[in-house]
Amino acid sequence: MRRGVLESITVVIAGVVAFPLFWMVLSAFKPEDEVISADPRPWTLRPSLDSFTRALTVQSFGRYFVNSVVVALIVVALSLLISFLAATALTRFRFRSRTTLLIMLLVVQMVPVEALTVPLFFLMRSVGDAVPWFGLNHLGSLVLVHLAFSLPFAIWMLRGFVAAVPVELEEAATLDGASRFRFLWQVLFPLVAPGLVATSVLSFIHAWNDFLFAKTFIISAAENQTLPLALQVFVKPDQNDWGAIMAGSTLMTIPVLVFFVLVQRNLVSGLAGAVKG
């Protein structure tokens, strides 16, 4: 009986927590007159894809979606390679300044990256003079900063996964005549795959969600905007196309939601690992 009451409370709370998401998806599928009605109802009898069509065609969300995907995927691929190598170095080798590097990795995660917009803005401006693709108004600048911001946590998290692979395996591989390079890519890399998945998802989400740097760096090249910025641009006082905005939000949220659900086990154990050691 008491447990029944507690369980009902739990379900009600879950409903409240999920409600904004439900409302987002519902509004995206409502016909326009129902979205901007002074009398909103929590259901619709006439679901339509009009809002999605408007978002993708009139407001070219498709273009921004592709931009966001490109940035996020390049960041994931690069941070995977770089953090795998770095994590291996930090767990498999004993060398001077190893502990110092580890502490710095932790401290660097606490630096508010938002504070770095000013110097990074000028850095990207100079970089752009030399290599335009990595400068302001280009997606390359976003790739660079998100790579830098996601690396410390990625290395920190992968460390645990690399450390879990027994050293004997490396000895065995060496005895069998495998080169260091071969061991690294054909033995170790596949073995830490679960860790790589969890880390990639975090890097992906980080790059995908970014609003501030997209806003700071992509100033005048509308064709190089990413989703978060595009979404904000469409929010104008008094004349919001809420249906299209909700459709855009849905498109933006779903990839993250899918990834999150896929890796939540890895994520929780990974976070616990990062917290508990």
Partner 1 sequence: MRNQGRVAYGYLTPALLVLGGLLAYPIYQLVLISLFDYGQEQVSGGAPLTFLGLGNYRTLLGQQQFWTVLGQTVGFAAVCVVGSLLVGTALAILCTRVRTWARMVLFLAALGAWSTPAVAGSTIWLFLFDANFGFVNEVLGTTGFSWTFDKWTAFGLVAAQVIWCSFPFVMVTLYAGIKAIPTEVLEAAALDGASTARTAVSVTLPLLKPLLIVVTIQSIIWDFKVFTQIYVMTNGGGIAGRNLVLNVYAYQQAFAASEYGLGAAIGVVMTAVLLAITVFYLRALKRQGEVL
Q: Which of residues 111-130 bind partner 1 (CB under 8 A)?
A: 111-112, 114-123
Binding status of residue 11 toward partner 1 by CB under 8 A: yes
CA distance 108 to 100: 12
CA distances from 197 to 60, 92, 107 (A): 31, 21, 24
The smaller minimum CB distance to partner 1, of residues 175 and 275, is found at 275
Residue 105 C-beta: closest distance to partner 1, Å:
8
CA distances from 171 to 92, 158, 166, 175, 261 (A): 12, 21, 9, 6, 37
Cα dihedral 96→98→103→107 (10° resolution): 100
Residue 70 C-beta: closest distance to partner 1, Å:
17
Span from 52-60, 69-77, 168-176, 249-257 in contact with partner 1 (CB under 8 A): 249-257
The smaller minimum CB distance to partner 1, of residues 2 and 46, is found at 2
Residue from 185, 193, 235, 265 touching partner 1 (CB under 8 A): that is 235
CA distance 163 to 91: 6
Residue from 33, 190, 239, 276 touching partner 1 (CB under 8 A): that is 276
- Interacting positions 202-221 with partner 1 (CB under 8 A): 205, 208-209, 211-212, 216
